[in-house]
Structure 1
């Protein structure tokens, strides 16, 4: 399963990393400036001492911890050991330090510089800073302690920065959470009210856009439902007139027989009227409000199946299709209109999409299974079974409308299409838990 990134976590980690990198960068820059400042300060002292101290060959002089010699051979032996060759450029500080790692304080530091006096003489000024001497100095602190204190101070600073960032994020995230919860809780009633204040202008604008978009979508849905309702109501009258007149013509034909072509035309009109009547009832039912109470009425499911099969048998005219109905008398409380629409559409689809073979309808209690077998279908090429509650494309609008009705009632529903056998199972007594 793909883990989706969290915007809050991404922002938090990014800011913490950015703050830490900036803190470390500025700390290193400060340390560099501090060391360069010390180097410039010490070389300035060494140059002043060289210019104001009188030194003779073979007689170096110590002045406030600095050694001044006129020859390289007169410098301290430890300086000659650390520096392979004497400095050649005047007023350029040469420095060596001994430290275990870049994060530790140097144990020993060696300085030497070549200075030309105003009279043209050379002076070698050197200074040695040993750790043992620093530790022996009264009041000197252990460098390790200073390092630990620096790390501790840095951790405290990062903790304070993180805490401040968390507080700022909470102040920003709380209105965003409120916006999310408000948008999630919107319904037909709340969408008509003005959105609450989310503290920030950008969030208020976003809330207004969400409300405007949902209002437009809701209005479009209402217009669609009204159109379906009005159209269905208006179509029922002409359809009833068509079916009534067809029945009248059939009665008149008993007294004055029609020709074969006239009888065929009359049957076509009758079938079209029945199809339009079923589709109109389906659309009218779907346009109803979901919250509307449904009256449950007892129905004989087996008798209903036989009645619908007889009414829709005209769909099998001129087809080599047999119908096998198996079941027993069974009565249950159900929404009669919805049950009629579902059964009618499922049987209609089975009849329409079976050209050669058999349609088998099995009723066991409240469960009905419809299987249509096309003998001319290559059974060696199986098709993948469709999951439950998934629309099977290519099997008509009636099946898709039936699935919506089944989903609205929470009835059990399962479809499969394997090896040329298309199977639909619906249980009118089974209620799914939502």
Structure 2
């Protein structure tokens, strides 16, 4: 199992850092807005006080503050202010040249024919702008300190919170579960999870033990009568070779012997599938020798059939697979080809990529029966008993089984696992 790209502890630390960054950014933003607003309100109230003072006078008089000037017409305004002025808006603050900064207010005075302008050049009275760089530097340093504190706090909390969960994940990942493993975890949500996992694990272990015991007992009970049947068939066939027995009886005995061999092979396959601890043993296998031996063992299936066999396998081809399971898979595939193939030629070829078995089919077989039944994981009585078992074996050993069916031919491809 691959380690996740970002663990739960890292997610907790990042959550703390992002939250601290958002809080620091919002605090800095609101603080900047606040100090600029307070400063602007100070100058605005200065102009409002000057407006009240001028309205109390019968004629326009000198302003109370030397920073405030009165302009009777718009054209009289300073050039840099006049260039940036937007009379049609409610804007009251403008930046001029050479660092000058203006606040203005339009006043209607009874002694003037037109509204006059109260203009305050406040560049020497600004408080925020001279310390703006230092203020931003302070905000940056404080934000960095907050991020480091948040990361440290998140690391401590994540370590305490996720340590039991990490231990539990390692136990599951390394398959080191043992009875009573849940008692070492704290009495919280992780402890509840570990206890539930232990209960389910014990149930699975008990089920596996019962399944293995049943498979062992069932295989023993089935093999005993099968051994009796096989030995009896061999004894009767040996007697038939020395005595004149009817051909029909000899054929029936051969069918019984063949069926008993198939059943014995099926029992061995099912027993091996139920014991997954034996599936991981890999050995170097010479495929040509194995196929020749299997074809020789299954040659009685071709008796009385007009079937020719063409085998094309590289002599030095070797595979790293479980020999028992590979033999079971190949035996089932060859049995299907020999038993259910029509008269003609069965082609068997193999290379470093996979194995291909091509055999003709009976004309009366339904073209889609095999594909439909195999896709659903069921057995097809018309194509052999072992296809579903072969599929299970292939899934456990990493092999890939592909079936291509035409009206007159079945092509089975067995692709080796790519190491």
Shorter-chain TM band? 0.5 to 0.7
Partner of 1:304 in structure 2?
A: 293
Cα distance in structure 1, aligned partners of 2:259 and 2:57: 129
TM-score normalised per structure 2 = 0.63
**Contact residue 302 and residue 363 of structure 1 kept, 8 A:** no
Higher mean alpha-carbon deviation, 347-356 vs 57-66, is at: 57-66
- Give secondary structure in 1 for the equivalent of 2:263: helix
1:268 aligns with 2:264: no
1:371 aligns with 2:357: yes
1:179 aligns with 2:173: no
Q: CA distance change for structure 1 residues 99 and 310 in 2, over 3 Å: closer, same or farther?
A: same
Partner of 1:161 in structure 2?
A: 146
Cα displacement (A) at 1:232: 1.4
Q: CA distance change for structure 1 residues 27 and 343 in 2, over 3 Å: closer, same or farther?
A: closer
**Contact residue 243 and residue 273 of structure 1 kept, 8 A:** yes
Gaps of 5+ in 2: 364-376, 381-385
Cα displacement (A) at 1:141: 7.3
1:110 aligns with 2:110: no
Match of 1:220 among 207, 214, 221: 207
**Contact residue 308 and residue 346 of structure 2 kept, 8 A:** yes
Alpha-carbon displacement from aligned partner over 1:211-240 (angstroms, at most 9, x marks no partner): 444444444333333332222122111222
Cα distance in structure 2, aligned partners of 1:124 and 1:293: 97
**Contact residue 98 and residue 109 of structure 1 kept, 8 A:** yes
Alpha-carbon displacement from aligned partner over 1:27-72 (angstroms, at most 9, x marks no partner): 4444445555556556666666776899644451433447699xx8
**Contact residue 100 and residue 121 of structure 2 kept, 8 A:** no
1:422 aligns with 2:416: no
Alpha-carbon displacement from aligned partner over 1:119-176 (angstroms, at most 9, x marks no partner): xxxx999461332x44xxxxx8793x52222332332233233323333443354454
Cα distance in structure 1, aligned partners of 2:34 and 2:307: 96
Q: CA distance change for structure 1 residues 214 and 343 in 2, over 3 Å: closer, same or farther?
A: same
TM-score normalised per structure 1 = 0.61
Match of 1:321 among 291, 307, 317: 307
Cα distance in structure 2, aligned partners of 1:209 and 1:114: 83
Quick check: which one's helix share is greater? 2
1:278 aligns with 2:272: no
Cα distance in structure 2, aligned partners of 1:204 and 1:307: 60
Cα distance in structure 1, aligned partners of 2:44 and 2:313: 109
The answer to which structure, 1 or 2, has the higher relative contact order (CA under 8 A, 6+ apart) is 2
Q: How does 1:224-303 map to 2 (within 5 A)?
A: 224-251=211-238, 255=243, 257-258=245-246, 260=248, 262-288=249-275, 290=277
**Contact residue 72 and residue 116 of structure 2 kept, 8 A:** no
- Give secondary structure in 1 for the equivalent of 2:277: coil
Cα distance in structure 2, aligned partners of 1:73 and 1:84: 15
Partner of 1:98 in structure 2?
A: 94
Partner of 1:387 in structure 2?
A: none
Alpha-carbon displacement from aligned partner over 1:90-122 (angstroms, at most 9, x marks no partner): xxxx8611148xxxx983223466799xxxxxx
Partner of 2:372 in structure 1?
A: none
Cα distance in structure 2, aligned partners of 1:328 and 1:23: 72
Q: CA distance change for structure 1 residues 76 and 211 in 2, over 3 Å: closer, same or farther?
A: farther
Cα distance in structure 1, aligned partners of 2:58 and 2:69: 11
Cα distance in structure 1, aligned partners of 2:31 and 2:246: 109
Cα displacement (A) at 1:277: 0.5
1:205 aligns with 2:192: yes
Cα displacement (A) at 1:207: 3.6
Partner of 2:121 in structure 1?
A: 129
Count of paired positions: 374
Gaps of 5+ in 1: 86-93, 117-122, 135-139, 378-390, 408-412
